[in-house]
């Protein structure tokens, strides 16, 4: 039986006239079990592999090996399918003219691995068609409560318009989760990140084809360890209050604010996807009407729910004071994750400016990123940034753009920009 707990970190003291309350809510799950084993529905897994011409012979061989490695990690009893994608999507396994899934068992495992061994590279790239087919395949098993896909691509989405891809992403959002990986340096991080973000997944780079199998296997292992199919974060705020934002800030930065659905006039629900044994941090910001010094108010009630069952709850409070020693204290957790969120933005904006030829903005933004990475102790970000800029002074963010940068290093910095470090206790 899964157990959840919630802890709130904040400075509840507001100065006279203060309105904005910030809190970090840490939610921890244990005993989640395995996918499809929680009794709340079955699990489904789809492996989506780019088989466009740009993959080439070496890429396809590596993709075959990676898909087989992923198939090996799917637990018996889990529904699954494999899609091969180029400028159209094809159900590679099961072999069927219509969308269908099968349960994993030894014979199905062997047949699926045989099917992926026949992948060949041909055609263009239209990722929207892959996503639409995945949604149709998942819909054929009504008992599925946990729907997860992994998507591999190596190139740009050249055979459908950005508008077509956007329409597809909007159409399939909420139907399944999807972790996305790009291999090599010819794919567009921003393009693939849009898919992953909308589908509550992750995006990352696989620098070389021979690394695909290990990555695919680990992605499926992680999915199989998520025994909680879906959970939502509900945020109640009092009459007249405004929820400024709700963000996941660890292990990655994901803004959930726009994903709100109304539960009632005072409560909104935000999707958090499936859970394994893990801990996540959320930054919640509420704007209240200022009250007199000495008054106290419940600013927010933050709950994690599975269906309509509340499994964890944290309370965010506000207390108005004229004691500067209390009101000027900054919560270490709030300060840390505010910096981490700004760090992610600075990296992405800096790289975008660099790509557009705006060296002044790129230098300023990436310099700020170096400064924030140093301040928040994000050593991974610091290491990746040093491959793109020469750092003269990390404390003040004085940097120079490197004249020559390996594109893989630049893309790795971009994909890892939303990964955060935890507050050091």
| Domains in the chain, CATH or no CATH each | 3-33+228-329 (2.60.40.3670), 42-224 (3.40.50.410), 333-415 (1.20.120.1690)
Task: Categorize the per-residue pLDDT at 95 as very low, low, confident or very high, splitting at 50, 70 and 90.
Answer: very high
Q: What are phi and psi of 127, to 5 degrees?
A: -65, -25
| 3-state SS assignment for residue 383 | helix
pLDDT in tens, 158-214: 999 999 999 999 999 999 999 999 999 999 999 999 999 999 999 999 999 999 999
191-197: long-range pairs with CB below 8 Å, 24+ = 191/127, 191/156, 191/157, 191/165, 192/151, 192/153, 193/415, 194/165, 194/166, 194/169, 195/127, 195/131, 195/151, 195/169, 197/254
Res. 425: pLDDT tops 90: no
pLDDT in tens, 368-384: 999 999 999 999 999 99
What pLDDT is recorded for position 39? 63
For residues 208-226, average pLDDT: 97
What pLDDT is recorded for position 158? 94
pTM for this predicted structure: 0.96
Measuring CA to CA, which residue among 419, 414, 424 is closest to residue 193? 414
Q: Which residues contact 317 (CB under 8 A, 6 or more apart)?
A: 10, 12, 21, 296, 297, 298, 299
For residues 268-295, average pLDDT: 98
Tell me the C-alpha distance between 207 and 217, whole Å. 16
Q: Please name the residue ranges forming H helices in 272-378.
A: 324-327, 332-355, 359-376
Return mean pLDDT, the chain: 97
């Amino acid at each position: 039986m899964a157990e959840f707990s919630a802890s709130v970190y904040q400075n509840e003291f507001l100065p006279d006239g203060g309105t904005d309350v910030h809190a970090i809510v840490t939610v921890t799950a244990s005993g989640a079990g395995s996918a499809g084993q929680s009794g709340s529905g079955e699990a489904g897994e789809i492996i989506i592999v780019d088989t466009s011409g740009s993959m080439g012979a070496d890429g396809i061989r590596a993709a075959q090996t990676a898909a087989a490695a992923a198939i090996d990690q799917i637990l018996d009893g889990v529904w699954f399918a494999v899609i091969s994608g180029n400028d159209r999507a094809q159900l590679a396994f099961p072999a069927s003219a219509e969308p269908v899934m099968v349960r994993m068992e030894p014979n199905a495992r062997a047949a699926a691995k045989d099917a992926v061994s026949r992948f060949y590279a041909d055609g263009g790239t239209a990722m929207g068609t892959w996503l639409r087919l995945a949604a149709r395949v998942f819909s054929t098993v009504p008992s599925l409560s946990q729907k997860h896909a992994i998507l591999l691509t190596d190139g740009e989405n050249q055979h459908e318009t950005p508008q077509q891809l956007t329409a597809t992403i909007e159409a399939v959002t909420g139907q399944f989760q999807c972790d996305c990986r790009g291999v090599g340096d010819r794919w567009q991080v921003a393009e693939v990140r849009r898919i992953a973000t909308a589908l509550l997944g992750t995006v990352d780079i696989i620098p070389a084809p021979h690394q695909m199998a290990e990555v695919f296997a680990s992605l499926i292992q992680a999915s199989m360890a998520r025994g909680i199919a879906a959970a939502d974060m509900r945020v109640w705020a009092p009459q007249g209050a405004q929820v400024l934002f709700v963000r996941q800030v660890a292990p990655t930065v994901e803004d959930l604010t726009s994903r709100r659905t109304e539960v009632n006039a005072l409560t909104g629900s935000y999707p958090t996807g499936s859970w394994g044994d893990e801990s996540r941090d959320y930054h919640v910001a509420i704007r209240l009407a200022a009250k007199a010094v000495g008054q106290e108010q419940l600013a927010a009630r933050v709950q994690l729910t599975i269906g309509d069952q509340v499994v964890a709850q944290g309370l965010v409070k506000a207390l108005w004071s004229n004691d500067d020693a209390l009101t000027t204290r900054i919560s270490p957790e709030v300060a840390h994750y505010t910096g981490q969120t700004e760090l992610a933005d600075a990296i992405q904006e800096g790289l975008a400016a660099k790509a557009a030829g705006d060296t002044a903005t790129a230098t300023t933004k990436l310099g700020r990123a170096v400064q924030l990475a140093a301040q928040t102790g994000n050593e991974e970000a610091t290491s990746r940034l040093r491959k793109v800029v020469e750092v003269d002074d990390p404390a003040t963010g004085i940097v120079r753009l490197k004249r020559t940068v390996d594109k893989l290093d630049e893309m790795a910095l971009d994909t890892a920009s939303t990964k955060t470090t935890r507050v050091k206790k």
